[in-house]
Structure 1
Amino acid sequence: MQTADGVRFAVVGNPGNRRVSLFADAVRAAGLTGPRVVAWADVLRGRGADFAPDEVVRVDSPGERPEVDRMLRGAVEPTRVEGSARWYAGFTAALGTLRGGIRLDEPGELAVLFDKRLCHAVLDAAGVPVPASPTSGADGAPVRGWEDVRTLMREHRMSRLFVKPAHGSSASGVLAVEAGGGRVRATTSVELTADGRLYNSLKLRRYERERDVAAVVDALAPDGLHLERWVPKAGQAGRAADLRVVVVAGRATHAVVRTSRSPLTNLHLGGRRGDLDGARAAVTASGGRWSDVLEVCEAAAACFPRTLCVGVDLLPAVGWRRSFVGEVNAFGDLLPGLTGLPGSGAEGLDTYGAQVAAVLRTTERHPAAPVPAAEPVPNRNSA
């Protein structure tokens, strides 16, 4: 696995998974030998967690592999929404078994990134604009179910908010809740069965009976809940719009607009890629600067300085004048076919190529550096 310039990669992931394959393609495109792949299944069985001191180690998502999901969540079916707390405990414990290598992430930061409550608190403390997040009282007690949610909505005068599983991803279990006039409505990808079980679905559903909304929230509450004020999003072509911005080594390198007719813009839930040039123009027309939008994402990423790459979900408010960070994703770089932003230093590279390039730039100067440092990028305001 040794290369001519001394750089070699390893990746912890699911062999054959598209994430692993795309990263391996990027490594080979840089003229290096493909990475050594350590299977998540082996790590969870207590094997293959040792890395050579000079191996650059990327940890990738354990998702999209039923066997691995069962090992993390126990007997819970892979299509079920419940069980995220057990998944989180298994995932963070497994991170602690990885030994050696030059890490492109840090286990403690990954643990925060995969807990929306902790992540939101870190961002808020750093002054990164985030949606308001009510708590269940001065004692900081966790949200125990729907009754707590209703109480917090009244206390904080929130008629619309998002209820999110603390450890969920890909909008799994997220509810966009609206209340008013004695009625409650929730939009979500959760399928509630007659026996009370929750399943992930690629079809968005709208529940308009409060008892159904309560049943979903109560079933999710034991795994931990995070609440956020619903920020009315900017629009594009009559659809709600937000952005996924990838930040590599401190710099925003890639961005995609996601649009939807529903409150959830995730592309796998029917969202569509929007017009990035149009978003840039809308920001400028509002009196803002595109560079400021990117800097909000970079400020969010700076809260996790020992993690090479994160995907920031940026919520532009109506009018495009203000933006809020909804989430920061440890594995938010799966954007096939997307190349780097002008002026980002990643032009012509996909998200994985940008990460490989950042590692190579750093190792040329500082061979023992654990994570590439941010580099100045010229002409940012023209991007």
Structure 2
Amino acid sequence: MTPPRLAVVGNPENRRVTMLLDAAARLGIPGPRVVSWREVLTARGARFDPDEVVRLDSPGENPDVDTALRGPGAPTRIADGTRWYTALLAAVDTLRGGRRLTDPGDLAVLFDKRRCHAELAARNVPVPASPTSGAGAPVPPDWPAVRELAAAAGLRRFFLKPAHGSAAAGVVAVETASGGRVQARTSAEVAADGVHNSLRVRRLTGEAQVGALVDALAGERLHLEAWLPKPSWQGRTADLRIVVIAGRATHAVLRTSAHPMTNLHLGGRRGDLDTARAAFDSAGYGWDTVLAVAEAAAAAFPRTLCVGVDLLPAANWRGVAVGEVNAFGDLLPGLTGLPGRADGLDTYAAQLVAVSEGWSDRAAA
């Protein structure tokens, strides 16, 4: 294994960067040169040597970087997602030299849920039905427009997601019923200074409450998609995060929750992956097919080393759909790889091994 010259653009204090450094140390290869997002944004760029392999890591969890990308305000606010998105892509465009492990064009699609959904659908990757993806798809300006779009698509249960959001910030799970009744669950809260993301998923009932929240979020270019029934595991809903590295599914987590959103920071918990694997096999769908769907989603982004694919199992375990594909979906502390795919390696070590084995050369070919 020939160690490459590595560099990472990230927030140096963040555990994403420190876990990458730790993985390099365990493998006995030189640690990457760390370039901070703050430095990139302040100096309006950074340069890398031609033989450096450059990893882009999440700019999140740093208030100064968040302010530089979105403008001033509380880090918990859900606002200015389009500004954040545009600023991030502009910052990536100021990087010069080196070979990227995350393709800028892929990044532009991965951080736009509407575009990403359309790209997957065009490749026949199974995704939830959506009236807001694809060329010329409408951008609902308010709650009445959302209700009209959902009704026209025959959706009585659906998710609303800010197009450029992450970590379930601003996601609203909506249920409608006959007679115009509506309720929703979300971690977003409307305050005097706007909408904020909390760590508490709560229920909203009635047109007034749900409509007020959706109206407050409507400036975030909302993506609307069907809320597919999920299977139950020990009385909790379940889905999967599959990490795909160099085109191969290497790590998997069963995520369970009492809420529609299974994100671990919102109270989700890791479940027993062996139980899910057995359920798929017993249902006749097959665990290998599950991994193949994740790999098909990642194949839409062939110039990006690693993505995290969120899979939505059918309630009867006889199928999956792709909920999202995450550019920075590899933060899974303490998780080692799937047998025969990344034995004994965490997500960071597995990526370093792939790079050392020449992935960046093959991707550039």
TM-score range, shorter chain: over 0.9
Select 1:143's aligned residue among 134, 140, 160: 140
Matched, 1:362 2:358: yes
Distance (Å, rounded) in 2 between the aligned partners of 1:241 and 1:350: 22
Unpaired segments ≥5 residues, structure 1: 374-383
Comparing 284-293 and 109-118, the one that deviates more: 284-293
Shift of 1:28: 1.9
The secondary structure found in structure 2 opposite 1:64 is coil
Is the contact made by 1:102 and 1:370 (CA closer than 8 Å) also made in structure 2? no
Aligned residues: 364
> Equivalences for 1:22-171 in 2 at 5 Å?
22-46=19-43, 49-135=46-132, 140-171=137-168
What amino acid is aligned across from residue 40 of structure 2 in structure 1? V
| CA shift in 2, pair 1:333/1:136, >3 Å | closer
Q: Distance in 2 between matches of 1:224 and 1:47?
A: 27
SS at match of 1:340: coil
* Structure 1 residues 198 and 66, CA gap change in structure 2 (3 angstroms): same
Q: Which residue is equivalent to 1:184?
A: 182
Tell me which of 202, 207, 213 is aligned to 1:205: 202
Per the normalisation by structure 2, the TM-score is 0.96
Aligned to 2:242: 245
Cα distance in structure 1, aligned partners of 2:310 and 2:133: 25
Match of 1:351 among 347, 351, 355: 347
Tell me by how many angstroms 1:220 deviates. 1.6
Give the aligned partner of residue 377 of structure 1.
none
Amino acid at match of 1:189: S
Partner of residue 257 from structure 1, selected from 254, 258, 261? 254
SS state at 1:45 partner: helix
Q: Deviations over 1:145-200 (max 9, x none)?
A: 1111110121122110000000000000000000113211110010122x362111
Aligned-pair CA distance for 1:47 = 5.0
- Higher mean C-alpha deviation, range 236-245 or range 43-52: 43-52
Alignment of 1:318 onto 2:315: yes
Match for residue 306 of structure 1 among 303, 306, 315:
303
SS at match of 2:293: helix
| Contact 1:196/1:215 (8 A) holds in 2 | no
In the TM superposition, what is the alpha-carbon distance from 1:110 to its structure 2 partner?
Answer: 0.3
CA contact (8 A) 2:2 2:356 kept: no
In the aligned structure 1, how far is the partner of 2:193 from the partner of 2:147? Answer: 20
Give the Cα separation in 2 of the matches to 1:107 and 1:27: 24
Shift of 1:370: 4.6
Q: Name whichever of 266-275 and 206-215 sits farther off.
A: 206-215
Q: 1:108 and 1:347 mapped to 2: Cα distance?
A: 31
What is the distance in 1 between the residues matched to 2:231 and 2:168? 20
- The answer to whether the 8 A contact 2:115-2:133 is kept is no
The one-letter amino acid paired with 1:154 is A
Contact 2:45 2:94 in 1 (8 A): no
**Structure 2 residue corresponding to 1:235, chosen from 225, 232, 235:** 232
Does 216-225 or 7-16 show the bigger shift? 216-225
- 1:340/1:350 contact within 8 Å kept: yes
Contact in 2 for aligned 1:82/1:219 (Cα 8 Å): no
Residue identity (%): 61
- Post-superposition offset of 1:24: 1.0
The one-letter code matched in structure 2 to 1:327 is: E
Query: 3-state DSSP class of the match of 1:294?
Result: helix
Superposition CA RMSD, Å = 1.8
8 Å Cα contact 1:174/1:189 also seen in 2:
yes
Residues 33-63 of structure 1, C-alpha deviations (whole Å, 9 max, x = no match): 2111000001111255100001110000000
Q: CA deviation at 1:212?
A: 1.9
SS of aligned partner of 2:225: strand
Q: CA deviation at 1:5?
A: 4.3
Deviation at 1:137, TM superposition (A): 11
Q: Please tell me the residue identity of whatever aligns with 2:347.
A: T
Aligned equivalent of 1:288: 285
Gaps in structure 2 of 5+ consecutive residues? none
Letter in 2 for 1:167: H
Judging changes above 3 Å, is the alpha-carbon distance between structure 1 residues 137 and 349 closer, same or farther for their aligned structure 2 residues? closer
Q: Hey, what does 2:328 align to over in structure 1?
A: 331
